[in-house]
Amino acid sequence: MSDTADNLDDLQLEVRDLAVHYDGIRALHGVSFTVLKGEIVTLIGANGAGKTSILRAVSGLIPYNGAIGFEGQDLKRVAAHQIVKRGIAHVPEGRGIFGNLTVRENLQLATWQRSDKDEIAADYDRMLVLFPRLKERQHQPGGTLSGGEQQMLAVARALMSRGRLLLLDEPSMGLSPRLVQEIFRVIEDINRSGTTILLVEQNANMALRIASRAYVLETGTVILSGTGRELLGDHRVREAYLGT
């Protein structure tokens, strides 16, 4: 069963014995972990370790063996759009915004499954407070934004779906050091507001500093787990991912 959840009421996501294959090549084998409500859980590992495959499996984007449960409900045969409706929002690597649509239109598109117009308007206003740069550029096409602004738009768009669990895939990739600091500040703000976060991130130092707990993957298998602080101090993690 779960490896950390003494109180099952706190268990939001449970992944058990997850296996994924691409064209006969094993991407994940026997991966198990949990995410509790209110946590930031970080997955770290080298490129090709299987981190993105985990997020895609949770989102229903790829077939898998094993079990994935969200808030006590099995996701195995649930379509991707239904997983969004159930409360999981995914910000993929590469952002995937619509460059020809304005910032406002990108955010409005994320509410396709909602009918609560007053709450949608309130959430839109909240995004502009959380991301002041988007407020300044809300009438600009998404394709004219800088890389950092596009990343903020991608995160804001996911939040507009009212996800209770936010999957973030490499949110700091390609950003300047100053914008990396800003993105991680926003991630912490989002988490403090009540959203649980499962984070895949190459910047292991920053990711572990904000993580409640973390898992280290190597060639599709979890090889280490612990609190963010514990893994920051682990000599194996420091040598392999922190360069110290």
| Structural domain for 188, as ranges | 38-51+85-242
- Provide the β-strand partners of residue 221: 218
In a domain, 7, yes or no: no
Q: How many domains, the chain?
A: 1
In a domain, 190, yes or no: yes
With 60 as the cut, is the pLDDT of residue 1 above it?
Answer: no
In a domain, 126, yes or no: yes
In a domain, 173, yes or no: yes
Burial of 183 (0-12, 13-18, 19+ CB in 10 A): buried
CATH for 220: 3.40.50.300
In a domain, 5, yes or no: no
Q: How confident is residue 218, by pLDDT bands cut at 50, 70 and 90?
A: very high
Cβ atoms of 151 and 171 within 8 Å: the answer is yes
With 90 as the cut, is the pLDDT of residue 200 above it?
Answer: yes
In a domain, 186, yes or no: yes
With 50 as the cut, is the pLDDT of residue 4 above it?
Answer: no
> For position 18, what pLDDT does the model report?
98
In a domain, 228, yes or no: yes
With 70 as the cut, is the pLDDT of residue 3 above it?
Answer: no
**Token pair recorded at residue 82:** 């239904």
Give dist(CA 178, CA 182) in Å, integer.
6
What's the pLDDT tens digit per position in 72-109?
A: 999 999 999 999 999 999 998 877 789 999 999 999 98
What's the pLDDT tens digit per position in 149-169?
A: 998 899 999 888 888 999 999
Angle at 67 between CA 61 and CA 71, to 5 degrees: 85
> For position 191, what pLDDT does the model report?
94
In a domain, 145, yes or no: yes
